[in-house]
């Protein structure tokens, strides 16, 4: 089993590589090699198989042809310009989020290796008006450039799979909370920031109303969901080429309440309401809850609640300790 991870220098890509390195196998098949790719060269890792790292511009079709020539059995396509940045830089958003996806599919088609392709999609493929609980078969009506790019990517993956060029599945990941490290330019970045920064002794800006509800998952559930998608049988993948990952539906207030329960009122006091209409407009267009029938039927994992997510972040990223 040969695996390529595109976007391997990002938080999810790095954690995915480490997890696969620890497992040493995917879908009960031993991993024999892994190629980690990003615009900057990703870190290597110790693993019971060969690991190669490579810096590449995924907007260059020639670079993607080189990756396809490696003849992977599984490809995790995580590389993307995040939502806020894609909205601010229209041309670059389409070049990275759409054109590169098409070039990747064409390169894999030309290489005739038909890998399992896991495409990291987004809840941004949906847009208002929305029902309170979004079913699996709800129409994709994105209200941002990022959402449009991801929705088109899903259609491409499904069509290239229909033609037998790849065996793909698009997984709409919930918003990942709590993301370690520095904030990024995603419109949803504050959802991690209002937990992460206070736990690290820093103030955090809250740009939306506290009543706002959102669909979230922990980094570990996101990683296990990607791995689970890669391990589905061809028949299972064909039954759900695009699906929403299992998450939990919480309001910002409920997130803050969980933080207060875990860390205390002094930590919560570091959260400052700073309304940002641009951020609120983007995030308010995203769904708040899902009926994830397909993901549940296929056995995807789910978190145990907001308190468990916060406690896992403290244990895994802060060594069990937090700022007073």
**What tens digit of pLDDT does each residue of 153-195 get?**
999 999 999 999 999 999 999 999 999 987 777 778 899 999 9
323 within domain boundaries: no
d(CA 288, CA 41): 36
DSSP state of 28: T
Minimum mean pLDDT among 55-64, 134-143, 281-290: which range?
A: 281-290
117 within domain boundaries: yes
Helix boundaries (H) for the chain? 11-23, 61-69, 83-88, 90-94, 100-111, 145-162, 189-199, 219-230, 234-239, 252-263, 265-268, 277-284, 293-297, 306-317
Minimum mean pLDDT among 13-22, 130-139, 163-172: which range?
A: 130-139
Decide: 77 and 7 in contact? Cβ < 8 Å.
yes
105 within domain boundaries: yes
Structural domains of the chain, count:
2
211 & 226 share domain: no
296 within domain boundaries: no
Q: What is the pLDDT of residue 128?
A: 85
283: Cα within 13 Å, side-chain hemisphere: 27
114 & 205 share domain: no
What mean pLDDT do residues 108-137 have? 94
Residue 264 pLDDT greater than 90, yes or no? yes
Catalytic residue among 94, 126, 146, 160: 146
229 within domain boundaries: yes
DSSP state of 125: G
Backbone torsions φ then ψ of 121, nearest 5 degrees: -95, -160
d(CA 197, CA 202): 5
Which domain range does residue 267 map to?
Answer: 189-215+248-291+304-317
Q: What is the pLDDT of residue 295?
A: 98
Number of Cβ within a 10 Å radius of residue 291: 15
Residue 323 pLDDT greater than 70, yes or no? no
Q: What is the mean pLDDT of the chain?
A: 94
Q: What is the pLDDT of residue 76?
A: 98
16 within domain boundaries: yes
Decide: 78 and 6 in contact? Cβ < 8 Å.
yes
Q: What is the pLDDT of residue 34?
A: 98
d(CA 163, CA 160): 5
Residue 322 pLDDT greater than 80, yes or no? no
Residue 298 pLDDT greater than 90, yes or no? yes
Closest residue by Cα to residue 52 from 29, 26, 70, 78: 70
Q: Is 94 a residue of the active site?
A: no
Backbone torsions φ then ψ of 249, nearest 5 degrees: -100, 120
Beta bridge pairs of residue 122: 173
86 & 203 share domain: no
Residue 324 pLDDT greater than 70, yes or no? no
Q: What is the pLDDT of residue 184?
A: 74
Indicate which CATH number applies to the domain containing 205: 3.90.25.10
What mean pLDDT do residues 30-51 have? 96
Residue 226 pLDDT greater than 90, yes or no? yes
């Amino acid at each position: 089993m040969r695996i390529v991870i595109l976007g391997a220098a990002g938080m999810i890509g790095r954690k995915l590589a480490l997890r696969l390195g620890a497992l040493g196998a995917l879908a009960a098949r031993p991993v024999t090699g892994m190629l980690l790719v990003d615009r900057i060269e990703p870190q290597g890792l110790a693993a019971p198989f060969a690991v190669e790292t490579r810096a590449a511009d995924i907007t260059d079709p020639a670079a993607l042809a080189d990756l396809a020539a490696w003849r992977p059995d599984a490809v995790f396509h995580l590389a993307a310009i995040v939502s806020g940045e894609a909205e601010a830089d229209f041309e670059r958003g389409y070049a990275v989020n759409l054109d590169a996806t098409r070039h990747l599919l064409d390169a894999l088609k030309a290489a005739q290796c038909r890998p399992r392709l896991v495409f990291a999609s987004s809840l941004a493929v949906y847009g208002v008006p929305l029902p309170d609980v979004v079913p699996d078969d709800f129409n994709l009506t994105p209200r941002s450039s990022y959402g449009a790019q991801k929705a088109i990517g899903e259609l491409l993956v499904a069509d290239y799979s229909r033609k037998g060029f790849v065996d793909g599945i698009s997984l709409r990941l919930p918003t990942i909370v709590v993301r370690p490290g520095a904030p990024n330019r995603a419109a949803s970045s504050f959802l991690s920031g209002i937990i992460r920064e206070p736990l690290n002794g820093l103030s955090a800006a809250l740009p939306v109303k506290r009543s706002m509800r959102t669909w979230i998952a922990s980094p570990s559930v996101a990683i296990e969901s990607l791995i689970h998608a890669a391990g589905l049988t061809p028949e299972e993948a064909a039954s759900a080429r695009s699906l929403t990952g299992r998450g939990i539906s919480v309001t910002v207030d409920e997130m803050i309440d969980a933080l207060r329960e875990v860390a205390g009122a002094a930590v919560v006091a570091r959260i400052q309401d700073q309304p940002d209409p641009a951020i609120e407009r983007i995030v308010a267009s995203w769904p708040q809850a899902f009926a994830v029938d397909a993901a549940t039927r296929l056995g995807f994992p789910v978190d145990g609640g907001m308190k468990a997510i916060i406690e896992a972040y403290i244990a895994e990223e802060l060594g069990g300790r937090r700022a007073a």
